[in-house]
Chains A and B, each alone.
Chain A
């Protein structure tokens, strides 16, 4: 098990380095930060001074070398805009996103498993058809449209909930509900399909022959077997939330890492962009590790 974690860590390190190289050089291709930060009328000397201050006058390779050296010592540089360590800025925003993702995915997982399992238990029944329709709509509806409609209805017309920002629990409701819809729709379908094959399996027949009740047959015998493909998809969906739900965070003015990244890209705040990418990549690596371990936990035939 430990050697598996080591191997995975090493493999992820390689992809992290690749990611670092790509993002660093690509971000430098988008233009000179000095001309963006300083006023239009700034003199050539001022620009040169600015560059020298932030090391932007060095050759790209030297800048990159310095950056990697700093990353290894945990120093991700200063945010150009906020004059604070970039890592602090990112971690602050990432905490918001993490909470949003964790709450949303927990709700999604629980609801999708219950709904998908019950739909699979009576295939073709009313509940199955109804939930199939709902999940299909959920999986296909564009979330930015849903977000705007939700704001119009619940915040503006009914005035039940705030339109955007943070501050109280009620600020969380709309973003979570909107983010809930798509992963829920997708995961219900996966759970349903996976449960249908688990429920028609031979071991379920044995359980019925033993006289086991329907509840334990669905949620004990079949579900644990059906979970393997499901957690893959859960991981996939959770990763896209961790990356920052850019559109939704922007619409709801939610100070998460998605919004931070977009803002920093527009402002050419490279250190923050790089720090945000590193932090989310690291989080996604950790999550995938947890998923691999969950496989082994769920299925005794999988051993690392």
Chain B
């Protein structure tokens, strides 16, 4: 008998995994943490206040509850007075639209319930989405209902109307008053909208002296400037990762935040899918300072400071003999990277025309030019790397242009400034002093999404319409145009940048719809109406892609320029600025879903931090949360330090978008602003920094140790070669006693049997599933303080494990939700049968039965159950309630919840199929929210009784394993072990 209850007596073979430095060192505080089911104080209801107060409150609420329950509540039904065609109450409708990030549009399909957008999905037909989305796109819908949005037109601080504004504007923007417009400047966000471009043309014709500047704080200009250096024109590089067997990422997080769409992930994971042990697999090398998702996926990663990446690229170019002649090597990249460079070079040479070298947007133009040369020398250009003209205007010099704008403002040349979107006062390089400069202009007009810093600095303050409220258009990176179709009339008084720009250019008010429609239909002649309908339906305009541009660089000449442009890295500290995985450049700062989604690598929530390496932390004498003072070019900020294993030494990574001064209630007092350090010269990487331990410390909250698994065999991992040699390798990694159950099993041979397989080889850990799940299942946001107490509510926990040394660890990510055990430990302990088994193998959760004993969570070996400690949905604004999915219960306090495989989607599709007279559902008809969002296609959900389903096929692979199988819980979710493809030379 003792054999049966002994858990995994032989222990684990293979690597040791750890989640945090504390866990690695088995720090006593950490041990105390993991031994508790819930964190200390997690079950205390009130911060202060005695038990007596609590009892009083309870007595009062019982009394009230009794009084209200006497009468049956009368519920009215309010039908429309006039019917709305196509509207069926309770049936969602879906519209194709597009959202623009960094000037590039991605196609989306948005679900609308009774007229309100509730869920965002990718557009399967759009080549830059292919049905998938990233976390930010998922969270866009919450932004629509943000109660802190800019709502009404203001002049200064007093309310006014659009009529007032237009009355003023029509005069101010008339040729009589503005002349040739030499006193007018427009500062807009990066856009690829063809309609806006046309409007811009009209504006330029009317005001030839005016200037229109486009700018984004998270800038991709350097890449295009590098192409300009190499090819004589600023081109957009398109890397075809689905054709590359070897990928080298130089400070490029192309799987994460350095991509404007999910396409790179889609393409990359296609080459990484292993169906049989014989399958091929690409190989990824990464050289980077911060630990990014790309570094986590890499088969080999070297940590180099961002300012040394140029030297590494140069060494690689020399090794590859790019010039055919002499090359000046910059500095010495050091022992480890020397070996790395020669191995990478060999691998690249072996895969000529089937490899990709890519540099990140932070790297200077010279590095991008050098990378273009490397790709050309490897025969990749035209094969795995193609170039087109960019979709944005003034593609490579936005920084110089905003500097010019600031100078013009300061010199008093500018009378009127119009800011169309964004938040330049906060995001522009601090040395421009833009907020100060704005006061020199006679009138400042700002159209902004929220009442941000720029709104505060403007005279005319205009509310911007949300992307789901306004007509517009945009081009994907390859030029393919999409029409941005609104899903709802503006909730407040918002108007789009396009509408305001068109009104100023034309001198009359126009609707966005008319501008966009007339732009497109005027080109289409007789077929216009039909093609317009098709463009709206498809979500893109066929045949608008740009042709591939011929790109050939004269190697010696370009190399000369590169050598001139590249400088050896200075000694001492460097500071590198990254877009935040949550707030991006601050535009998602007031989005609670994004704030609460733990950073994919640091697992930090509701904050940013100064990331430094363990060695640097020791040198500075700081621990997590201790303040650092960071000085660059005489500018100084204070930010809490956080130790990031695998980070480059003498380098600080800072994420943008925090510490906002004018902001809604979500991002109020959240994080530390690092924007004051950003200058025109040190916009991406600032060298020569002075970093010291500051005074005091700050509480950083991470989820990395929550729900820890205590050294049990949770993630299995091997090299591809090992797997090929021993396909049953993983079956021997865990040894468990024979699995005998005391209970009689269910009969699972009939009907649908739902199951899930998650391929750890593909998963990049990007959080898209976490936020998609939150959106689909009405999961509450709990806030920093509650997360600190271990009360986060996400149904999917994105686990991130380190393995190896703290200097150079590798990372495995693992999405973890309810495993839907067949022998579920939670079910047998529930005293009220609130969690019971369904005939289709689901572990059902009936919220209205749950009395909140939390026995189930206590008995769950996977720690995936979440308890509503407080009434998290209470007090949320009316507008935010509109984001709820009406097909899912909004849970109350005292109720347990967890993943249910999106059972509402299963039921919906089953009912639909039956109504159509079909007996069974096709494979892939029901998609769980996480599966649908996943850009890496790592999650497969379906009927495991159907041997032909995608999930069944994955589960048949030898890599398939059950988590903690020795417990005999028989989970329906299984994992496919992680494979890497290391280079034997570097092993």
Do chains A and B stick together as partners?
no
- Give the B-binding residues of A (Cβ under 8 A): none
